Every structure is written in structure tokens, then in C-alpha cells.
Amino acid sequence: MAGREWNPWRRLLALPNESRAKTVIIAFLVSAVCAALVSSATVVLRPIQTANRAAEEQARIAALVQGIPGMATLLEQSGGTLSTVVINLETGRAATAVTPANLEATLRDQTNWTELDAAQDLAGLGQRPDFAQVFLLRENDRVSLVLLPISGQGYGGRIDAIIALHGDMNTIAGIAVTQHAETPGLGGRIQEASWQGTFPGTALRDENGDMRFEMARGPASTAYEVDGITGATRTGRGVTQMVRFWLGPDGYGPLLDAIQRREF
């Protein structure tokens, strides 16, 4: 008489393939192994993904700077380079404990977001992060250029962009739309270089300090307008409100004020 098999693995394999217990156990083991592999891959790939996102952001920043008339020459002449800092949006000052390295983790905590009421929420975001990473170019002891990530709701969904301001913090140096969901051939034209090229030189506020920036319904007719896009009225409204929000008091306003006062 053959001895009893005490190895549980061999006993499991010896069960007929029609056995419900064998099917359930094998399925569970396969799922556990797959889950472990996926978790391991996530841990291993996370630093690579973070580095790739950082590299993509830097590439977009470099492309934006190169597209600003005279900026490449200025960088070469001054030897200047863009520096980056995380801003506390409420105070307009550099964050004390949040850095570019831990910003993403910080913003996963919902306590680091501010709910916006209807009157504040021009960009249609619902809430605003308390911290944001910005890019600065200094010439001697002054900020001569600042690049600011902005976002808002267009017709098809969220629009993400980076807007550059000259040292007076009131004149647009350029814009780069980095992501959007607008209709191709209509609102989607906001990603075209020809449209983005209408931004440089546009003023944000008038002599009284009132925000006047607007995306026109047609060709720009004032110093505060950029060209509109035919058939994309809601996209134009979204861009207008996005810029007005982020460059206003509930966005980067405190930072822009501090730079103008030469306190940053």
C-alpha cells in the first residue's frame, strides 16, 4: 500500500483538474503572484516615471523659452538659467517645507487644496492647490521672466498651459498649451503656434490695475486682447477665465505683487 503523500503542493497537483478546490486554489495563487509582480513593477517604475515627467516638463519649459523673441539671446548674454521654486499660493512666498521633489506627494493630501466658491472659481476648477511650482529667470537682482503653470475648463475639458510674464508682471511674454481636449479644427487650434504667437506683448491690467485680459471674438483690437478663434466661443471664454483666475488674487496674484515690490 502506497504511503500517504504529506506534501500539500503535490497533494493539490494530484487532484483531478475538474476539482473545484484545485481550481479555486490555483486561481488564487495566480492572482496573488500577478498582484505581487504588478506591485513590484509599480515600485520599481515610479522613480523612472517621475523622472520622465520632470524631463517632459523641462522640455516644454525649454521650448517655451526658445519661442519667446529675444529670450534665447538674453539667456546666452546673461548666462542666466531658469530656477524653480515651489510657491505657497496664499502668501506668494516660497514654501518652507514643500519642494519640487515632494510636491506631487504633498498634493495627494486633500488638506493641501483650497475649495473655491462660485465667485472665485473663474477657471471652473472647483478647488485650487495650495502650492505650485514656478520657474524664474533673474537678471542681476531682479526677476526678468516668470513661467507659471495654469489650468482651467474649456469646451471639451481641462486645458493646461504655461504662461510667461516679463519682469513687470503685467506683460505676457508667451504661452504654451501643454494639454487640452478641445475640438480639432476649432478650439483645438489653441495648440497652434500661430495662435499662441498672438500672446507676446499683451497686457493684463490697465493703468488702474484692473484685469482686462480677454480672448477676443475675432482679431484682437486692444492691447489687452489676443486673437479669437472662429467657432470656438466657449474655448475662448475658458482661456480668458483661466488667465484671469491664475493671474488674479486667488492664483499667483500675491506672488506677482511680491515680485513687483522686489520682495521675491
Question: pLDDT per residue over 20-42, tens digit each?
Answer: 777 878 878 888 888 877 777 76
Better-scored residue on pLDDT, 80 or 156: 156
Work out the percent of the chain whose per-residue pLDDT is above 70: 81
pLDDT for 74: 47
The pLDDT of residue 14 is above 90: no
Span 70-113, pLDDT tens digits: 455 545 655 566 788 999 999 999 999 999 889 999 999 999 99
Q: Which distant-in-sequence residues (6+ apart) come within 8 Å of 197 by Cβ?
A: none
Mean of the per-residue pLDDT values of the chain: 84
The pLDDT of residue 10 is above 60: yes
Complete edge-to-edge strand list for the sheet that includes strand 83-88 = 93-94, 83-88, 131-139, 142-153, 158-166, 172-179
Span 196-223, pLDDT tens digits: 889 989 999 999 999 999 999 889 999 9
> pTM (2 decimals)?
0.72
As a whole number, mean pLDDT of residues 105-124 equals 94
The pLDDT of residue 18 is above 90: no
Reported as a pLDDT band with limits 50, 70 and 90, residue 5 is low
Q: What is the 3-state secondary structure (H, E, C) of 170-233?
A: CEEEEEEEEECCCCCCCHHHHHCHHHHCCCCCCECECCCCCECCEECCCCCCCCCEECCCCCCH
The pLDDT of residue 12 is above 70: no
> Side chain identity at 133, as an amino acid letter?
Q
pLDDT for 263: 86
Q: What is the 3-state secondary structure (H, E, C) of 74-136?
A: HHHHHCCCCEEEEEECCCCEECCCCCCCCHHHHHCCHHHEEECCCCCCCCCCCEEECEEEEEE
